[in-house]
Amino acid sequence: MAIIIDETTKVLIQGTGGQGTFHGKRNKDYGTKVVAGTHPKKGGQNWEGVDVPIFSTVQEAKDETGANASMVMVPAPFTKDAILEAYEAGIEVIVAITEGVPVHDMAQVYNTLYHRNEDGTFDMSSGPVLIGPNCPGLISPGKSNIGIIPESITKPGTVGLVSRSGTLTYQIMHELNLAGIGISTCVGIGGDPIIGSNFMDIVPKFAEDPETEAIVFVGEIGGTEEQKVGRWIAENIPDTPCVAYVAGFSAPPGKQMGHAGAIVKEGSDGGETAADKKAALEEMGISVGINPSETAQLMIKRLNA
């Protein structure tokens, strides 16, 4: 079993340019059920390189192929409309890879896709699963790959991995693979200020997945989502092996580091530094590595104990 996607997931790709073609073909060759591409001016053509039909709209592609997931590979100025088109067509899983999407656009997306509760929070069950934007996507090794995660560095297994950083995730996944440890599902949620799914949307899914026996999560400076999921883990699945990494131990306050959401606010007392998060998580019983390699080794030791 896996979370969010599996071998039955039918994927359409919004955006038939160079990146869409490259990763669409790569994912299809891996075994992902890539069934269509969409482009408003190329409907009726065969997508050379990916060898699937192109439809003018997502609705047409869904109606003709039964697609239930979308990989969004369009340029940033068009990403909001692409996500909303997929939502309006009833696509269940939307994976937005594009980086540089304006925050205001994502605010509009969020308020359209999800119902706002009376306390101001959003009911994520009221809309599709949205991953990203500015993310590597997700992979359930041996079953499906939607995004740009390199499949050669992992294999099927029992560790659930969720991360705000793509490349750091790759390092951890690779080192686990070298130790003979595979992944149930790896989800790159992205590091923008507004993303579709966060840690608290993904980790409980791992907890419900019978094939996920351990969890690694990779955070960054900025915000306090790492502490929130740490508390949830401590209160709900204390016996599940969990380790974490928080990128940015040397990041100065007030300076954006890499991702748009990776910034420690000046004068903040919210525990937004890597050191703050490491200390808080370790108080909750979650081991935290100081780099990706140490994080992988911590998980290897937990599984071999």
Catalytic residue list: 259
**Residue 197 neighbours by CB distance under 10 Å:** 21
Q: Which residues pair with 33 in a beta bridge?
A: 10
For residues 161 and 214, is the Cβ–Cβ distance under 8 A?
no
